[in-house]
Structure 1
Amino acid sequence: MRNTLTRVGCWLAGALLCTAAAPALVAAPAALPREAAPAAPVREAVAADPAYKVLVFSKTAGFRHSSIDEGVTALRELGGAHNFTVDATEDAQAFTTGNLAQYKAVVFLSTTGDVLNATQQTAFEGYVQGGGGYVGVHAAADTEYDWPFYAGLAGALFHSHPHNQTATLKVEDRAHDATAHLGTSWQRFDEWYNYRTNPRTTAHVLASLDESSYTGGNMAGDHPISWCKDYQGGRAFYTGGGHTEASYTEPAFRRHLLGGIRWAAGMTEADCRPESGYTALFDGSGTTGWQQAGPGSFALADGTLTSQGGLGLLWYSGKEFTGDYSLKLDWRMTDDDNSGVFVGFPASGDPWSAVNNGYEIQIDATDTPDRTTGSVYGFKSADTAVRDAALNPPGEWNTYEIRVTGERLEVFLNGRKINDFTNTDPARSLRQGHIGLQNHGDGDQVSFRNVRIKPTATTPPPTTRTGEVKGVNGKCLDVAGGSSADGTQVQVWTCTGSTAQKWTVPTDGSLRALGKCLDVSGGGTADGTKIQLWTCNGTGAQKWQAQGDGTVRNPQSGKCLDAEGATWNDGTKVHLWTCHTGPNQKWTLP
């Protein structure tokens, strides 16, 4: 994995490191973390990324920003310093499937109006659905109002703006690479857009405007200005800054752009799922409600807790958490370091109580599988392949979500699920206890930010739906001959009520009949690829999404379920075809 380390340590049960020279673990008076000197700012330089290419697109069909040239220059300079090549164009003919394939991200730099035709739009949709990255800068939100795909990709579209002025931004996420270098607030002079909708429910907000700090904001006090989201297989980042020429010489704004590009291009990871309803346990302003158990402590600077010394535990004594909850926090290793997050332990001034009665979610990527980052320490390894793909290296921030549902413990790293553990020990319970942050020992420096929690209601799993899938001429989606053999052709047929026409729509995106899944043969993407029945395997060839226009799309290929030809009799084969919303692509699911 890209942040493989070489550390070898001596371990005791529960992940407290011991060496011959380690002091004895003794109870220590409760102490809050001491205030430290301000931490050094996060560097603009980042770990070397592999070389990649970015397309910067700045075509305008409406107002043209005078800062576009400065923006292109800044992006070229960032690319030269950070190992990516910038191709800049205002020619929409660059939007072909073949040309876009060479780019890890496409930057819409203050584009305005309708800048792509239908063919170019289709190519760009396929690029995003195939995992491509989008970066929208400023007037990218003033673009393509009649293209629903783009509105969803951008997250929100322009409504209006007041005059240029200085405003205060609240930095809501200090773990994402686009905002980790900032403090909890950021003052900038720019042109501040109001948006037609609030993107918070569909995107993860990185920064928002304090509408009391300037005049002309009209979003009722909740005014996102930068956000990220996973979108139809790709990644989308947007920032409302960048109207002025001076923006592109500001070090903090340039670093903001760099982080957005790196994330959209897949060079760094982040949790970009929408987030709301969390209560801060540590927001950077102080440590009220926290106590230190055992030796060592945490330094507090720049809204960040950093472990020092140990073997101890900073635990939240302000509340014992019962029932189901989601705990989120951001963490960063300085180098080859060790720490962990404890849940489900009773109140105690002895850190061994957390070890012996709770569970630790480990932070250290260099030990045995059940003692590495994402493991439930000593009990269950993380899915190391998924973990390695989601993990940022030392020096960069990561985000954990630790989700407790009954006695089930799920761990998400930067938005990806990496562990799923169920407690069966009657002496322990995840449903009741405190949470804590470990300070592991001398030389281990792990930092934490933005510790927050919310209760989650236990709801029954969504029920599946079963019935006929009806298509063109009222005919039913049918498994030929009622055969459950792998490779059996799927067709349309007069509805008979037989089991060959009973389809189940579960919550995993598949369509199932006769115990098997609707499948794109070979995972193909070409028009005319056979649609068949196949053993369920969870691949993209077996994922289907019902669209608002009545089509059923396979996201992996970006194409639609289609009854072939122009006359649709019993036995007409079903295949994959470019979406065109004709009657032979309209389906009604149970």
Structure 2
Amino acid sequence: MRLNVSLAATTVAGLLCVLCAAARTAPAAAPPAAASSAAPEQGFVPIFNGKDLTGWDGNPKFWSVKDGAVRGETTKENPTKGNTFIIWRGGLVGDFDLRLSYRMTGGNSGIQYRSRDLGNWVVGGYQAEIANDGGRDGYIYDEKGKRGRMCLVGEKVTWGKDGKKQVTGSAGDLEKIKAGFKKDDWNEYRILVVGSHIQHFVNGVQTIDFTDEDEVSRAMSGILALQIHAGAPMVTEFKNIRLKKLGPDPAPLPPAPKAPAPAKAEAPKAK
């Protein structure tokens, strides 16, 4: 009987040794995977293929593709006499989330949305400003309209039914917005539009919060386009352009009055 007990004890001790050794050599369990910042963006569709201008319509004197980016360029020898745009021909946008990378040197640029095609690569409507300046990139401008700079960086604004601007608060810390901006380098733009509510973000920081209640002047749908501004020689570039529609496709717009071909250079818009 003593022999059996001794044998059992020896067996148990041996098993414990084996288990301890296995525990020491087994790889540590991986911690739960954290959400990746590079995770795919659900519902977003690329609208620029990175190779050519398929699906886009602009004056070939100024627009091309270089190093995987849409490139708009003017020079002293090849100026534009008026603001000129490259238009996305993939449809209209109503409610949407647009994200892209951009870089600009010299001049002035912008991103048009819910805008009107006036012909001759001229566009009017909401514009997300690009000025290569952390204090200005991200405001909203009324291209070819009468409302000018509708909401400046850092502002929360309601444009009332009476056609007047009402600053109702702040959209964020202007110094924080400036601090995150990379001059002469690639920055990230996001434009989020739902109903009459418009928000812009640069490098993940909100720059404006704008509500447009002016039923006479506002637009609920329209085209997307990218701008070259008349004036000093400039280069503007856009890549990783992706769009998520947040509602049904808008109905076709009635024809807009066509703009004449530009005859003279436009002065840079007021800052």
Interval containing the TM-score (normalised by the shorter chain): 0.5 to 0.7
CA distance in 1, matches of 2:98, 2:219: 12
Query: In 1, Cα distance between the equivalents of 2:30 and 2:51?
Result: 44
Separation in 1, partners of 2:201, 2:133? 19
Structure 2 segments unaligned to the other structure (5+ residues): 1-23, 75-79, 142-148, 155-173, 249-271
Q: CA deviation at 1:351?
A: 5.1
Partner SS for 2:234: coil
Aligned residues between the structures: 189
**Corresponding residue for residue 178 of structure 2:** 388
Q: Decide which of 201, 208, 214 is 1:412's aligned counterpart.
A: 201
- The one of the two structures with greater contact order (alpha-carbon pairs below 8 A, sep at least 6) is 2
**Where in structure 1 are there 5+ consecutive unaligned residues?**
1-113, 115-142, 153-201, 206-226, 228-273, 459-590
Matches within 5 A, 1:10-25: none
Pair 1:284–1:147, CA change in 2 (3 A): closer
Match of 1:319 in 2: 91
**Identity %, equivalent residues:** 27
1:426 aligned to which of 215, 222, 233: 215
Q: Which amino acid aligns with 1:399?
A: E
CA contact (8 A) 1:408 1:430 kept: no
Aligned with residue 145 of structure 1, among 29, 54, 60? 29
Which of 47, 52, 57 is matched with 1:281 structurally?
Answer: 47
Which of 439, 453, 466 is 2:243 aligned to? 453
Decide whether the 8 Å contact of 2:48 with 2:242 is kept in 1.
yes
Opposite residue 305 of structure 1, the aligned amino acid is V
Aligned partner of residue 379 in structure 1, secondary structure: strand
Quote the Cα distance in structure 2 between the aligned partners of 1:300 and 1:431.
31
Q: With structure 2 as the length reference, what TM-score do the two structures score? A: 0.62
Partner of 2:115: 345
What's the CA shift string for 1:270-291, capped at 9, x where partnerless?
xxxx622211211212222211
Q: Match for residue 437 of structure 1?
A: 226
**TM-score normalised by the chain length of structure 1:** 0.30
One-letter code aligned to 2:29: Y
User: In the superposition, relative to structure 1, how do residues 424 and 288 fare at CA in structure 2: closer, same or farther (>3 Å)?
Assistant: same
Contact kept? 2:63, 2:73, Cα under 8 Å? yes
CA shift, 1:327, in A, is 0.9
**What is the DSSP-based 3-state SS (H/G/I as helix, E as strand, rest coil) of the residue aligned with 1:326?**
strand
Amino acid at match of 2:119: G
Distance in 2 of aligned mates of 1:431 and 1:287:
27
> 1:120-157: per-residue Cα shift (whole Å, max 9, x none)?
xxxxxxxxxxxxxxxxxxxxxxx963544xx42xxxxx
Whether 2:135 is the aligned partner of 1:330: answer no
Cα 1:287–1:144 change in 2 (3 A) is farther
Q: Tell me the distance in 2 between the aligned counterparts of 1:440 and 1:365.
A: 13
CA contact (8 A) 2:85 2:123 kept: no
What's 1:360 paired with? 127
Q: Residues 428, 290 of structure 1: CA spacing in aligned structure 2 closer, same or farther, 3 A cutoff?
A: farther
Alignment of 1:139-538 (within 5 A): 145=29, 147-148=31-32, 151-152=33-34, 202-205=35-38, 275-292=41-58, 297-309=62-74, 310=80, 311-322=83-94, 324-334=95-105, 336-350=106-120, 352-354=122-124, 358-366=125-133, 372-377=136-141, 378-383=149-154, 384-394=174-184, 396-441=185-230, 442-456=232-246
Deviations 1:505-553 (A, max 9, x none): xxxxxxxxxxxxxxxxxxxxxxxxxxxxxxxxxxxxxxxxxxxxxxxxx
The offset of 1:296, in angstroms, is 5.2
Once the two structures are superposed, what CA deviation does each residue of 1:29-79 show, in whole Å capped at 9, x if it has no partner? Answer: xxxxxxxxxxxxxxxxxxxxxxxxxxxxxxxxxxxxxxxxxxxxxxxxxxx
Change in Cα spacing, 1:426 to 1:351, as seen in structure 2 (3 Å) is: farther
Deviation of the 1:379 alpha carbon: 1.0
Higher helix share: 1
Q: Distance in 2 between matches of 1:333 and 1:432?
A: 27
Say which structure is richer in strand.
2
Contact 1:343 1:430 in 2 (8 A): no
1 CA distance for matches of 2:239 and 2:30? 40
